Structures are given as C-alpha cells and as structure tokens.
C-alpha cells in the first residue's frame, strides 16, 4: 500500500522559503545595526563639532574661565531635538549653560580628545559630547570642560526611515526571488513528471527497460525501476514457462487417464476390468509423481530469484534428508553418511537445497544402488563437496548432458518429466555451485555436488 506523503515540491518550497526568510532577517538585522552605527557616527561628528566650537570660544582671564557661546555652534544640530550644554571650570563649577546639567567627567581621558557617551537627562536619553580645553592653572584638573547633550529623536527617525525603505526593497526582492525559485523548482522537477508519463503511457505487457533522458540525480531511481521491471519480466516469463510446461506435460497422462476410465466403464468381464483398474492406478501414480515434480520444479525456480540466502548447516541438512529418504528404500541397502560433526555452513535456501538432496537420494534408490548408497561430505579448499556414491550402473555418459535438461526424453522407457536431476542442477547453479558425475569402473557411480562455503561470521 502506498502511503501518500507530503509533496516533494512543497517540501522544497517550504525549505527554500525558510532559507530566504532567515537570510532576509539576517540581512535586515545587519542593515539595521550598520545603519544605526552610520547614523550615530554622522550625528556624533556634528555633536563633537558643535562642542569644539564652544571650546574654541572658551578662555582663561583674571583667574576665571570665560566663554562666548557662538549661536552657530548649535545650527548644525537637528531641529526638533533638545540641546543641553554646560561649561565647567577646572574646579567643576558651571560657568555657562545649564547649571543643573552635570554629567560625569572622565578627567583622566580629556587629553585624548573629544569623548562621546550615552546618558539620561530629564528622563530623556541623550548623546553627550565632552571636550576639554586646557587652562593655564595649577592643579590635577587643568581643564575647562564643555559638555554638550543632544536628544536622539532625529537620529532614530532617520534610522527608522532608512530601515523601512530597506525593508520594502528587501521584501520586494525576496518575493521576486521566491517566485523565481518556485518556477525553477517546477522546472527542476519536470523530469520526474516525464518519468511518470513514460510509465503511465506504457502497455501493461511492456516490461522492457525505459529509455528516457534522466538527470544524474534520478539515474538511481530510473535504474531501480528498470531493474524491477526486469525482475518482473523474468518472473512473468518463468510463470509462463511453468504454465506451458505443466500444460504440455499433463496433457498426455490426463488423456491416458481419461481413456482408461472410459475403457473401464466399457469392460464386460472382471479380468478386463481388473486390468484397466491396474493401468488406471499406475497412471494415477505417475500423474501424481509428475505433478509433484512440476510443483517442486516451479518452487525451485521461484525461490532462486525471490528468497534471500541464509546460513544453512549442510551436514544437518543431509542427515534430515537421509532420514526422510529411508522410507523410499524397498530393499535392504547399506545406507551411510560421513560428515563432520561441526556445522558445515553454506549460504543459500534450505528448502531448495533439501529438495535437491532428496531428489538425488530418491533417484539413486529408484534407479541404482542395488546394495550400497554412501554419502560423503568433505571440505575442498573454499567449498563443500557432497558425493552420493552407489554401486549401481549409474547414468550412461552419453546421457549426462540430457539429464540436466528439463523435460528431456527419458531413456529405458521410463515415465516421468525428467525433472529430478535437472532441478538439482538448477539449484546448484543458483547457489554458485555445480553438479557433476563420476563413474568408477568396477565399483559404481557417483553424483557430486559442490557449493561455496560460508565463513562462520556470515553464518552467525
């Protein structure tokens, strides 16, 4: 079931909008602080310039500090703001201006030049310029001090006006950028729409790989889709093959079974009926065996592509298969297994491997092994080797390739679909191994299965 999630386009829009909003906020804050600093520097220069003009008109005469405040000193300051000033002699007494205006004077820093500080006077925030003029008097503070304060309404209004204009420009630019980004995102996601359209336009029976021009970011997606369609095509071909094989192989025995049933219904004496019943039972057993082989063959083909390999103890699997196969033995036989006591790990599908081993055992019990069937499991470098040896005549060397082919004609007039050893060969190929035959003159015949071993770390 597909669970619809949030639109990829919407996700990108939200993230891009968040980035743009954060960037705009950072830009506005930067502009605000830089503008405020620039306005403060400009107004502070005017304030210091006015204070210097007053200081230039301050002199010492007859033991007193005198000052002639020029009116032009305050003309450069902004209108609408209040101005407060005081001129103090070296003893800290106000000799001109507002006698109640007494800001803190940093006497030890007057020699460094004009000083500008923030302050509060009459419950209003003000900016204060402090300028010292040296007087010809003895003592620790030989300075006449001019302190000029100016309220900040004009500079704040100028900063707000500049910030508002900047905000408007930034918002317009941001909106235009966002619209351009939306269009760009839609264009960038267009290949996904093309892939969707290419899939929807396909016939349901067309499982060939898609031939589309895809950006590098979607190559993995297109590759995964093509890989899935390839696996689906393989699965469909396998299904058609199984259905076709089953239809072909079942047609003759079902027809024969129907014919025997018709003949049985028309038999006039007991001997004829018994003969037809015996033939009917034989054909029914053959049909059952054929169906069982077809099912096992289809199961092995399906699991080869759909089941992930897991660690399998080959020795334990052989023990279980041999215990099950004893029921097929209709005569006394030397039935033995030689295998290590420690686990013998391989990576594969336990069910397919068990069916392959049982097919070899059943085939040996049915058509060979008159007196002896020995199974040996040994390690051969990086693989496990399972050797099924019996003392029967075995398969003629001319038929070794034929028995690997499903539904090949059987020798000796035997019935069936010739699927047993063909299925074993398919299982071995699916597990990276192989099936081979060995003939030992005067001793017997062996079916040998080899498979890559799995290390203990993988098995655990």
CATH number, position 75: 3.30.450
Instruction: Tell me how far apart the alpha carbons of residues 336 and 354 are, in angstroms, rounded to a whole number.
Output: 17
Is the same domain home to 42 and 81? yes
298 within a domain of the structure (yes/no): yes
Is the same domain home to 290 and 336? no
Query: Cα-Cα-Cα-Cα dihedral of 322, 323, 327, 330, to 10°?
Result: 50
Is the same domain home to 219 and 357? no
175 within a domain of the structure (yes/no): no
Per-residue pLDDT at 71: 75
What is the domain count for the chain?
A: 3
Is the same domain home to 376 and 236? no
Per-residue pLDDT at 375: 94
Per-residue pLDDT at 303: 63
Identify the domain boundary among 286, 306, 326: 306
Q: Smallest Cα–Cα separation from 65: which of 132, 119, 153?
A: 132
Angle at which helix 153-188 crosses helix 190-200, to 10 degrees, equals 30
Per-residue pLDDT at 298: 66
- Residue-wise pLDDT tens for the chain (460 aa)? 556 666 777 888 888 888 888 888 888 888 888 888 888 888 888 888 888 988 899 998 888 888 888 877 777 665 678 888 899 988 888 889 888 888 988 888 888 899 999 999 988 999 999 999 988 888 778 889 999 998 888 888 888 888 788 888 888 888 888 888 888 888 877 877 878 788 888 887 778 887 777 777 777 878 888 888 887 777 677 677 666 666 655 666 777 778 777 777 777 777 877 887 887 887 777 677 667 666 666 666 666 666 778 899 999 999 999 888 877 666 788 889 999 989 899 998 888 898 889 889 988 888 877 888 999 999 988 899 999 999 888 888 888 888 887 665 555 444 444 567 888 888 898 888 999 999 887 788 999 999 999 864 444 4
Is the same domain home to 265 and 373? no
Tracing tokens 């800290």 back to the chain, one arrives at 92
Sorted by sequence, the CB contacts under 8 Å of residue 259 that are 6+ apart come out as: none
Instruction: Tell me how far apart the alpha carbons of residues 14 and 247 are, in angstroms, rounded to a whole number.
Output: 58
Per-residue pLDDT at 434: 93
The dihedrals phi and psi of 399, each to the nearest 5 degrees, come to: -100, 5
Identify the domain boundary among 126, 160, 194: 160
178 within a domain of the structure (yes/no): no
425 within a domain of the structure (yes/no): yes
Which of left, alpha, beta for 122 (phi over 0: left; psi -120 to 50: alpha)? left
Listed in sequence order, the DSSP H helices in 189-218 are: 190-200
Is the same domain home to 355 and 444? yes
Instruction: Tell me how far apart the alpha carbons of residues 282 and 262 are, in angstroms, rounded to a whole number.
Output: 16
Domain range for 150 is 11-160
Query: Cα-Cα-Cα-Cα dihedral of 403, 404, 405, 406, to 10°?
Result: 80
Per-residue pLDDT at 163: 79
Sorted by sequence, the CB contacts under 8 Å of residue 35 that are 6+ apart come out as: 159, 162, 163, 166
191 within a domain of the structure (yes/no): no
Identify the domain boundary among 280, 306, 332: 306
237 within a domain of the structure (yes/no): yes
Is the same domain home to 426 and 374? yes
Per-residue pLDDT at 249: 59
Rg of the chain in Å (alpha carbons): 51
Q: What is the DSSP string of 105-152?
A: P-GGGGGG--EEEEEEETTEEEEEEEEEEE-S--SS--EEEEEEEEES
Per-residue pLDDT at 47: 87
75 within a domain of the structure (yes/no): yes
454 within a domain of the structure (yes/no): yes
Listed in sequence order, the DSSP H helices in 307-409 are: 314-325, 350-367
Is the same domain home to 44 and 106? yes
Is the same domain home to 17 and 86? yes
Is the same domain home to 414 and 426? yes
Q: Smallest Cα–Cα separation from 114: which of 45, 66, 37, 68?
A: 45
Per-residue pLDDT at 146: 93
235 contacts 207 by C-beta, under 8 angstroms: no
Per-residue pLDDT at 460: 42
**Max alpha carbon distance in the chain (Å)?**
166
What is each CA distance from 382 to 262, 378, 433, 454, in whole angstroms? 59, 11, 11, 8
């Amino acid at each position: 079931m597909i669970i619809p999630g949030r639109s990829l386009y919407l996700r990108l829009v939200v993230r891009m909008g968040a980035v743009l909003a954060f960037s705009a906020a950072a830009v506005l804050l930067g502009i605000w602080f830089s503008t405020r600093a620039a306005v403060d520097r400009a107004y502070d220069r005017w304030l210091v310039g006015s204070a210097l003009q007053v200081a230039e008109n301050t002199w010492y005469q007859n033991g007193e500090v005198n000052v002639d405040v020029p009116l032009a000193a305050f003309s450069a300051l902004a209108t609408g703001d209040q101005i407060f000033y005081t001129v103090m002699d070296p003893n800290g007494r106000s000799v001109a201006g507002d006698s109640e205006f007494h800001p803190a004077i940093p006497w030890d820093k007057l020699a460094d030049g004009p000083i500008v500080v923030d302050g509060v006077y009459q419950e209003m925030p003000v900016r204060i310029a402090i300028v010292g003029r040296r007087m010809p008097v003895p003592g620790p503070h030989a300075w006449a001090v001019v302190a000029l304060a100016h309220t900040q309404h004009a500079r704040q209004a100028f900063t707000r006006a500049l910030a508002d204009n900047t905000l408007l420009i930034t918002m317009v630019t941001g909106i235009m950028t966002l619209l351009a980004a939306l269009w760009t995102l839609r264009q960038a996601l267009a290949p996904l729409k093309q892939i969707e359209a290419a899939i929807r336009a396909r016939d349901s029976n067309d499982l060939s790989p898609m031939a589309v021009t895809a950006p590098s970011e979607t190559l993995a997606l297109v590759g995964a889709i093509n890989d899935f369609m390839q696996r689906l095509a393989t699965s469909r071909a396998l299904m058609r093959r199984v259905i076709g094989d089953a239809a072909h192989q079942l047609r003759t025995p079902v027809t024969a079974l129907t014919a025997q049933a018709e003949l049985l219904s028309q038999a006039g004496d007991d001997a004829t009926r018994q003969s037809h019943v015996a033939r009917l039972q034989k054909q029914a057993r053959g049909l059952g065996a054929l169906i069982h082989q077809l099912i096992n063959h289809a199961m092995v083909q399906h699991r080869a592509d759909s089941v992930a390999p897991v660690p399998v103890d080959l020795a334990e699997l052989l023990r279980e298969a041999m215990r099950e196969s004893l029921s097929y033995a209709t005569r006394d036989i030397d039935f033995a297994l030689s295998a290590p006591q420690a686990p013998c790990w391989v990576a594969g599908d336990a069910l397919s491997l068990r069916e392959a081993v049982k097919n070899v055992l059943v085939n040996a019990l049915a058509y060979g092994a008159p007196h002896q069937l020995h199974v040996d499991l040994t390690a051969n470098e990086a693989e496990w080797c399972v050797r099924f040896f019996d003392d029967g005549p075995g398969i003629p060397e001319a038929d070794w390739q034929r028995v690997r082919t499903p539904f090949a004609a059987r020798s000796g007039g035997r019935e069936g679909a010739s699927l047993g050893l063909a299925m074993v060969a398919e299982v071995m190929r699916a597990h990276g191994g192989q099936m081979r035959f060995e003939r030992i003159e005067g001793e017997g015949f062996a079916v040998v299965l080899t498979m890559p071993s799995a290390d203990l770390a993988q098995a655990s």
